[in-house]
Amino acid sequence: MRTNLKTQNPPKRKKSIVREYVESFAVALILALIIKCSVVEAYKIPSGSMEDTLLIGDFLLANKFIYGSKVPLLPIRLPALREPKPGDIVIFKYPRDPKVNYIKRCVAVEGQTVEIRNKVLYVDGKKIPDPPSGKHTDSFIRPNVRDPRDNFGPYKVPQGYLFMMGDNRDNSADSRYWGPLPRELVVGKAMIIHWSWDSDPNAPVVTREDLLSIPKNVFYNIIHFPKRVRWNRIGDIIR
């Protein structure tokens, strides 16, 4: 008499809760890195070169996909939806130190001729008005032709390059000083201000020497939180 053999597969072992959490966290982390590297990334404005369009303490989101974002861990870029154009506010790697991010306004692209005459910008011979929130802080026009702040060019932007300028025209280290921007150093287009934090010279400074400086700073900022936040700038579209 033959005995029938059991062919039922043994029950699968359920994943432990810890393993499920680890796997979920790993997937979330990978997706976050992909989004950060390829789609949207947050930046903080550290200087006044783009005043009053962008202020020190503004936190913004940049669209990295529109200009063709870099693929993480690979030396290739995705296809761009469009190229940077005059008027775009662009985040890019500083040509003299690619580890540093800069933000300026593109005023001219390859093949266009840039000239500044007595603080007035001309592109291909056409006068370009200052940005709506741009400014000049010094009415004096420097006569020294070696100083490109107030008089520059004419200069034709080479192929594969962009010409960048800060909206705070008298206080911006830009293409007038360090030359045109290579297209491959473009990171993304500024989109929106998601947070804005005003500076306060009275806020306690955090130092290594004073162990209580951190709680002092945190407590001070909590107390002065409503006054330090620039509520009217949160959600502003960057133009």
CATH number at residue 124: 2.10.109.10
Domain assignment of residue 133, yes or no:
yes
pLDDT band at 119 (very low <50, low <70, confident <90, very high): very high
At residue 3, does pLDDT exceed 50?
A: no
Tell me what pLDDT residue 51 has: 97
Domain assignment of residue 9, yes or no:
no
Of 5-14, 82-91, 155-164, 216-225, give the lowest mean pLDDT range: 5-14
Domain assignment of residue 211, yes or no:
no
pLDDT digits (tens, 9 = 90+) for 174-186: 999 999 999 999 9
The number of domains in the chain is 1
180 touches 162 (CB < 8 A): yes
Q: Measured between alpha carbons, how far is 148 from 163 in angstroms, rounded to an integer?
A: 14
Domain assignment of residue 203, yes or no:
no
Domain assignment of residue 119, yes or no:
yes
List active site positions: 49, 104
Tell me what pLDDT residue 22 has: 64
Signed CA dihedral, 148, 159, 128, 114: sign only: positive
Return the bridge partners of 188, or none: 91
Domain assignment of residue 234, yes or no:
no
At residue 139, does pLDDT exceed 60?
A: yes
Q: Measured between alpha carbons, how far is 46 from 96 in angstroms, rounded to an integer?
A: 18
Rounded average pLDDT over 85-111: 96
Cα 174 from chain centre: 15
Tell me what pLDDT residue 170 has: 96
And the tokens for 43?
Answer: 């930046």
At residue 45, does pLDDT exceed 80?
A: yes
Name the DSSP class of 236: P
Rounded average pLDDT over 28-45: 63
Percent of the chain with pLDDT over 90: 63
Q: Measured between alpha carbons, how far is 158 from 148 in angstroms, rounded to an integer?
A: 18
Q: Where are the beta strands (DSSP E) in the chain?
A: 40-44, 58-63, 89-94, 97-109, 113-117, 120-123, 126-128, 152-156, 161-165, 181-182, 186-196
At residue 72, does pLDDT exceed 80?
A: no
Range(s) of the domain holding residue 181: 40-197
71 touches 44 (CB < 8 A): no
Tell me what pLDDT residue 40 has: 67
Domain assignment of residue 231, yes or no:
no
Domain assignment of residue 72, yes or no:
yes
Most confident of 21-30, 139-148, 203-212, 221-230: 221-230
* Residue position matching structure tokens 């597969």: 9
